[in-house]
Amino acid sequence: MIRFLLAGAILAVSATAFAQQIPPEIEARLPPPYFRVYVIAVCAASEDITDDCMQAGRRNAAYALSEMYLRAYGGKLVWNALRLRFPYGWAEASQTRFLRDVESEGIAIANASIARDVAANGERLDNWRMDAIREAALGSNWSHEWSQYRHDFAPAHVTRQLVQAEMTR
C-alpha cells in the first residue's frame, strides 16, 4: 500500500486502484494521478519498525520510483514526485541506506521492464542503469529535510537520466 498524506489524514491507497480506495468526495478534489506526490510513510510509527514493515515500505517506494522512470521512458511528462517519510529518531545513516536501496530497486524494476521493450538499445540501457546506480550510491538525487525525517526524489532526476542516456522513446 502506498500512503498519501492528505489534509492531515493518511489515506491508504492501492497503487493499482486509486478510485476504489478513496471516497468519491475526496477523489473529486484530488489532482490527476500524474500530478500527485507519492508520499510513503516508512514504518509510520517508531514502534512498528519490523523487517516486514521495512520491506513493504521499500517495495512501495521502489515501485513508485519505477513508475516515474517508465513514464519518462514512454516519452510522457513526469509530474509526480516521490517523498519518503521516516519515523522520528531514525539515524541519518539508516535513512540514507534505505534511500539508496529504494533507488537501486526502482532502477532494477524499471530496467527489467524497459529491457522487454524491443526498442530499447542494450548498450544504452546498460549505460543508463550503471549511471543511475552510481547516482543512487552517491545519494545525489534526493533532497533532504533531516529535521523532518523527510526526503524527496524530484521527477527532473528521472527525466535527466533517461535523456542523457538517450533512452526515451
pTM above 0.75, yes or no: no
C-alpha cell at 46: 517508531
- Burial of 79: CB neighbours in 10 Å, binned 0-12, 13-18, 19+: middle
Collapse the DSSP code of 5 into the 3-class scheme (helix H, G, I; strand E, B; otherwise coil) and give the result: strand
- For 60-107, the pLDDT digits (tens) are 899 989 988 988 888 877 777 888 888 888 889 999 999 999 999 999
Mean per-residue pLDDT for 125-139? 89
- For 8-51, the pLDDT digits (tens) are 222 233 333 333 466 777 666 655 555 556 667 677 665 667 77
* Contact present, 149 and 90 (Cβ < 8 Å): yes
* Contact present, 4 and 13 (Cβ < 8 Å): yes
Collapse the DSSP code of 127 into the 3-class scheme (helix H, G, I; strand E, B; otherwise coil) and give the result: helix
